[in-house]
A and B are shown apart, each in its own frame.
Chain A
């Protein structure tokens, strides 16, 4: 039974669309990062999928740009409580990138330039649920927001959508990433309010 804060009325969202529990709607696009923003030259950018047997599949910037692109419009939810509706991105589905990769893994550890990592179940990257995106709202993705390329997994809290992404390791056993290792949830489903370990 929640306690009532005397005199608090609040300002429920006027949108018809529901928000995940504990979230509020913003029109801004706040930036959250654990350190300085790495500046990455797209010409030197590459993306590598490494399987549990150590087999690498890599794409250069040019190879990545030649892949079939999609333009998902999705809602995003940050664990710091803000949500943003109807954000439009452009990029490559993880289904496309992982189609030719032979793996028995259940887990993924995403790596970024600058050293950031995040873990999630591999199945959350498949079936039209995740993209590597290079543009936001019709414009090149700004470095603050993860450019040149970030992961987009909108059905999970946004820290799973790693900025400055450089690769994914596919693993038979779960390995925790940067925030997960200091208490954030391994899965991070906003609709189940999986913010922190134990939620």
Chain B
């Protein structure tokens, strides 16, 4: 397979903050207007470049939280304590402020509406972001592919998109696990994701689902190991890790 494509450089585009929503006290979704945005697949990410007045510039990657709406994209950013970029995006940037973006990036951790295999989404904390993009892409496409989402958060207040996830979405089963404190009346005691959680709320391996696992490294290592132990083919377990330094 020799290279035949003529690569075209992905250009930096100016993105203007059109709005924002706070998902939790530590996470904000930014709506960005990006003239010329070429569109993206659910699960892909976007490089964001910030430049200071003195010319200093730095970049980070953030997952798109939703399918593109024309030239508008949504990124959900978790504020990292002592971070360089995330405090700016979650606390300083206002409507009308500008950053630069380029993308979309990544072609492995993606779900396409034409895919027909059942889907298991396993997210830890902010790892839900690209998974939510998949759920929203499924809904936007009118797909009937059965989805299951298992999301692990420290406390109920840490769940992104909580209102939207509470609304029944036929064909999308949602399970929320709590690691520090569970809501009153919860039968599962707080704790990290384990074999029983994935076995009960995931798909049996025999159905050959595509599994998308996203979160901090420890979470992803555990969840991916559990899936393999439960018989899922490692080639159908796609992972994406949000390191602690992804600030």
Residues of A within 8 A of B (CB): 2-12, 22-24, 26-28, 30-38, 80-82, 114-115, 144, 173-176, 178-179, 181-183, 186, 196-199
Closest beta carbon of chain A to B52's beta carbon, Å: 5
Q: Which of B7, B51, B84, B88 contacts A24 (CB 8 A)?
A: B84
Do residues B241 and A32 form an inter-chain contact, with CB atoms below 8 A?
A: yes
Residue of A nearest to B229 (CB): A36
Residue of B nearest to A38 (CB): B234
5 contacts between A and B (CB under 8 A): A3-B99, A10-B84, A11-B84, A28-B245, A34-B108
Q: Which secondary structure characterizes the binding site on chain A?
A: loop
* B90-98, B134-142, B157-165, B181-189 - interface stretch: B90-98
Do residues B1 and A175 form an inter-chain contact, with CB atoms below 8 A?
A: yes
Q: Does B114 contact A (CB under 8 A)?
A: no
Residues of B within 8 A of A (CB): 1-3, 5, 7-10, 12, 14, 49-53, 55-61, 84, 88, 92-93, 97-100, 105-109, 217, 221, 224-225, 227-228, 234-235, 237-239, 241, 243-246
Do residues B51 and A8 form an inter-chain contact, with CB atoms below 8 A?
A: yes
Q: Which residues of A contact B5 (CB under 8 A)?
A: 197
Do residues B88 and A3 form an inter-chain contact, with CB atoms below 8 A?
A: no
Do residues A10 and B234 form an inter-chain contact, with CB atoms below 8 A?
A: no
Do residues A36 and B234 form an inter-chain contact, with CB atoms below 8 A?
A: yes
Do residues A3 and B10 form an inter-chain contact, with CB atoms below 8 A?
A: no
A92 to B93, CA, bound (A): 49
Most buried by A among B3, B97, B221, B238: B3
Do residues A174 and B228 form an inter-chain contact, with CB atoms below 8 A?
A: no
Closest beta carbon of chain A to B132's beta carbon, Å: 20
Do residues A34 and B238 form an inter-chain contact, with CB atoms below 8 A?
A: yes
Q: Which of A4, A11, A176 contacts B1 (CB 8 A)?
A: A176
Do residues A82 and B245 form an inter-chain contact, with CB atoms below 8 A?
A: yes
Do residues A175 and B2 form an inter-chain contact, with CB atoms below 8 A?
A: yes
Q: Which of A2, A28, A80, A182 contacts B100 (CB 8 A)?
A: A2
Closest beta carbon of chain B to A84's beta carbon, Å: 9
Q: Which residues of B contact A28 (CB under 8 A)?
A: 243-245
Do residues B234 and A81 form an inter-chain contact, with CB atoms below 8 A?
A: no
Do residues B52 and A22 form an inter-chain contact, with CB atoms below 8 A?
A: no
Residue of A nearest to B53 (CB): A4
Closest 8 CB pairs of A and B: A182-B107, A30-B243, A198-B7, A197-B7, A198-B9, A36-B224, A26-B245, A22-B59
Q: Which residues of B contact A179 (CB under 8 A)?
A: 108
Do residues A182 and B92 form an inter-chain contact, with CB atoms below 8 A?
A: no
Closest beta carbon of chain B to A144's beta carbon, Å: 6
Do residues B244 and A35 form an inter-chain contact, with CB atoms below 8 A?
A: no
A62 to B16, CA, bound (A): 58
Do residues A196 and B10 form an inter-chain contact, with CB atoms below 8 A?
A: yes
Q: Which residues of B contact A26 (CB under 8 A)?
A: 243, 245
A151 to B193, CA, bound (A): 32
A38 to B234, CA, bound (A): 9
A23 to B47, CA, bound (A): 12
Do residues A80 and B61 form an inter-chain contact, with CB atoms below 8 A?
A: yes
Do residues B237 and A35 form an inter-chain contact, with CB atoms below 8 A?
A: yes
Do residues A34 and B239 form an inter-chain contact, with CB atoms below 8 A?
A: yes
Residue of B nearest to A182 (CB): B107
Closest beta carbon of chain A to B15's beta carbon, Å: 9
A5-B51 contact in complex given A30-B244, A197-B5, A198-B8, C-beta closer than 8 Å = yes
Residue of B nearest to A25 (CB): B245
Do residues B58 and A6 form an inter-chain contact, with CB atoms below 8 A?
A: no
Q: Which residues of B contact A182 (CB under 8 A)?
A: 106-108
Most buried by B among A5, A33, A174: A5
